[in-house]
Amino acid sequence: MALIMIDIDHFTFYNDNYGHQQGDECLKIVSRTMNNVLLRPGDFLARYGGEEFAVVLLKTDISGAIYIAEELVDSITPLALPHALSPVAPTVTVSRWGLQ
């Protein structure tokens, strides 16, 4: 079993700039997108905190978990959701920490 923790970068700034209702929409879009990456029936994504998500992957070793983590992170970029106050990108991103 593997557990992946993901959070949206600088999401407080997003809420401050766009409002909490738009923040909720952003969370829904990001979660749907990441959920579409999980193809096996036993794997699942859950919201863990404000902008944090936990992904549980059954019967997955470390190399499989890293592969899925990269797919999850990479699935967000094409969304191109504007994030004007982010110090890391002009769009919504999730951290690559631990994937280098």
Q: What is the mean pLDDT of residues 74-81?
A: 97
Q: Inter-axis angle of helices 62-76 and 20-37, to 10 degrees?
A: 140
d(CA 40, CA 90): 32
pLDDT value of position 86: 96
Residue 100: CB atoms within 10 A of its CB come to: 4
24-69: pLDDT as tens digits: 999 999 999 999 999 999 999 999 989 999 999 999 999 999 999 9
Q: Is the Cα torsion angle 10, 12, 13, 18 positive or negative in sign?
A: positive
> What is the structure's pLDDT at 41?
94
With CA atoms as reference, report the closest residue to 45 among 95, 91, 3: 3
Please tell me the pTM assigned to this model. 0.91
